Structure 1
Amino acid sequence: MSVLASEWLKVRSVRSTYLILGLSLGAVLLGLALAVMAAGMYDSAPPDQRPSARIAELEEVVVILPQLCMGILGTLVMASEYVTGLIRTTLTLVPRRWPVLAAKAAIVGTLGLIIGPATVFGTYLVSRWVLGDRFSGAYATPILDKLPLLAATSLTVPVFALLGLGLGALFRSAAGAIAIMAGLVYVIPIVIGNIPEPWSERLGSIMIGGLPRQIIGESNASSVYGSLLPPAAAAAVLAAYAALPLVAAAWLVRRRDV
């Protein structure tokens, strides 16, 4: 518990933590702005075009912001200690080393579990409030029917936080870890979408963005992602994104000098 308290003090004593958390919550405002813009475009469209108008699920669009922000927070929690040299003091005080990584994982994972639902559910609710029954009732379905997908999408945020922590420990550099996470969100899905089948479908099925719908048994037919995994396998892949870097980091931290 003393290690956990010490690591929590480190996280909450730097201003960057609050800035990153604030930017993450800003996803709700971004979702609100997109919903208002979409509603305006719908209302100004000719009546005969409105029945065919469609809109992406805004909570799945803006979740990229808290994903990256929490991933960056996880990276900084670890990499910043290497940059400042504080890691030497930390590992000297905790010779077994792995409790340090476990405490950091508990903290950033918990923060991700708070930010994820707050941004995903918040974006959905404000979008539902603004859009009403526009776009063929895309946001008029019962809320209970949306809960499984919203919950699965929310889980990707703490996964990114733990992924960032693991990568920060592996590379001991924020730049490299952040580049990998940005690639997972922006670059790799575009590349996969241009790969010939069946590899586009196969690789797309294991990308983080395509896992929430597979976890609840839905298809990703309208996106660049694949839909080949059963729910249990999709959940296991999502967990692996967080667990594998942390396991590798724990192994390396115990063997490095610092």
Structure 2
Amino acid sequence: MSAAQVVRSEWTKIRSVASTVWTLSLAVVVTIALGMLISALAGNEFDKMDPRDRLSFDPTFISFAGMSLGQLAMIVFGVLVVSNEYSTGMIRSSLAAVPQRGTFLFSKIAVAAGLALVVGIVTSFAAFFLGQAMLGSHRASISDTGVLRAVIGGGLYMTLIAMFSMGVAAMLRSPMLSLGILMPFFFLISNVLGNVSATKKIGRFLPDQAGSKIMQVVTPLGDDTPYGPWGGLGIMVLWVVLALAGGYALLKRRDA
């Protein structure tokens, strides 16, 4: 089977699974809705902020407040895309049809990542424009310095979160085990490490902490992070590469 045929086969698999539609739809709705809510609240509270907080006020980043929950759905999407075949036993048929395991895995990841990128970019632009509408006179413009980079970066961030989850799922094979590790990692461990002074320097190099830097336009006062927006995204890409390489290495070595 040629690579093009494998890609078409993977596209058919992904779009025929109901969970794909639901998880991606949830990512869009949650990210936009929560971003609008937080933006509206921030706009109302702006006049009550002290001067120091106003200097760090980042209207662009505030409109992406929903990403924290939206990435939850992207994690679920990434895990299910890979691990569903193991949980249903279809992996045996898939590998029998495509014995080249690298072609099989990376065709699946390419199709899923392309879909995640389209959804992520659309969601990021929608979250930005609707969030800015909620901010009123405190809003940013897409033509402002760094804003377009941040908005495109938001879509890339969501895509990379999904790809990292695919790599972890390829290593662990079980959807429950994958989600049982990824959820606490992103929603508990990463936040704790990134906000406790003793571990802050370690936490800033975790994938979500580093990757989210791309969505910032205004650098908070006192921020001593040793990398910029693209550097942070580069660190996240490295995490994704390591996860995918681990998934491929294990898929190549073990039985279906």
TM-score, normalised to structure 2, is 0.83
State the 4+ residue runs in structure 1 displaced beyond 3 angstroms: 33-39, 49-57, 140-144, 193-197, 214-223, 230-233
Count of matched residue positions in the alignment of Structure 1 and Structure 2: 246
Question: What is the CA–CA distance in structure 2 between the aligned matches of 1:201 and 1:179, rounded to whole Å?
Answer: 25
Question: What is the CA–CA distance in structure 2 between the aligned matches of 1:63 and 1:90, rounded to whole Å?
Answer: 34
What is the CA-CA distance between 1:88 and the residue it aligns to? 0.5
CA contact (8 A) 2:117 2:156 kept: yes
CA contact (8 A) 2:190 2:206 kept: no
TM-aligned CA distance change 1:184 to 1:115, over 3 Å:
farther
Residue 25 (str. 1) matches residue 28 (str. 2): yes
Question: What is the CA–CA distance in structure 2 between the aligned matches of 1:122 and 1:113, rounded to whole Å?
Answer: 14
Residue 250 (str. 1) matches residue 248 (str. 2): yes
Match of 2:209 in 1: 209
Match of 1:91 in 2: 95
What SS does structure 2 have at the residue aligned with 1:113? Answer: helix
Cα shift readout 1:101-135 (whole Å, capped 9, x = no counterpart):
111111111112112222222111011112211xx
CA contact (8 A) 2:36 2:63 kept: no
What is the CA-CA distance between 1:246 and the residue it aligns to? 0.9
Listed as ranges, the gaps of 5+ residues in structure 2 are: none
Question: What is the CA–CA distance in structure 2 between the aligned matches of 1:123 and 1:247, rounded to whole Å?
Answer: 32
Residue 237 (str. 1) matches residue 238 (str. 2): no
Cα shift readout 1:211-249 (whole Å, capped 9, x = no counterpart):
3436989745578xx612356643331111221111111
Match of 1:5 in 2: 8
Match of 2:74 in 1: 70
Cα shift readout 1:167-194 (whole Å, capped 9, x = no counterpart):
1111111122223332343212332145
Question: What is the CA–CA distance in structure 1 between the aligned matches of 2:149 and 2:33, rounded to whole Å?
Answer: 23
TM-aligned CA distance change 1:28 to 1:6, over 3 Å:
same
**AA partner of residue 156 (structure 1):** Y
**AA partner of residue 245 (structure 2):** V
Question: What is the CA–CA distance in structure 2 between the aligned matches of 1:216 and 1:37, rounded to whole Å?
Answer: 19
CA contact (8 A) 1:63 1:119 kept: no
TM-aligned CA distance change 1:193 to 1:244, over 3 Å:
closer
What is the CA-CA distance between 1:64 and the residue it aligns to? 2.2
What SS does structure 2 have at the residue aligned with 1:132? Answer: helix
**AA partner of residue 70 (structure 2):** P
Question: What is the CA–CA distance in structure 2 between the aligned matches of 1:37 and 1:231, rounded to whole Å?
Answer: 26
CA contact (8 A) 1:148 1:216 kept: no
Question: What is the CA–CA distance in structure 1 between the aligned matches of 2:200 and 2:161, rounded to whole Å?
Answer: 23
Residue 154 (str. 1) matches residue 155 (str. 2): yes
Residue 113 of structure 1 is aligned with which of 103, 114, 117?
117
TM-aligned CA distance change 1:217 to 1:66, over 3 Å:
closer
TM-score, normalised to structure 1, is 0.82
Listed as ranges, the gaps of 5+ residues in structure 1 are: none
Residue 183 (str. 1) matches residue 181 (str. 2): no
CA RMSD of aligned residues (A): 2.8
How many percent of aligned residue pairs carry the same amino acid? Answer: 26
What SS does structure 1 have at the residue aligned with 2:65? Answer: helix
Question: What is the CA–CA distance in structure 1 between the aligned matches of 2:40 and 2:67, rounded to whole Å?
Answer: 18
Question: What is the CA–CA distance in structure 2 between the aligned matches of 1:142 and 1:203, rounded to whole Å?
Answer: 30
CA contact (8 A) 1:217 1:230 kept: no
Question: What is the CA–CA distance in structure 2 between the aligned matches of 1:141 and 1:195, rounded to whole Å?
Answer: 34
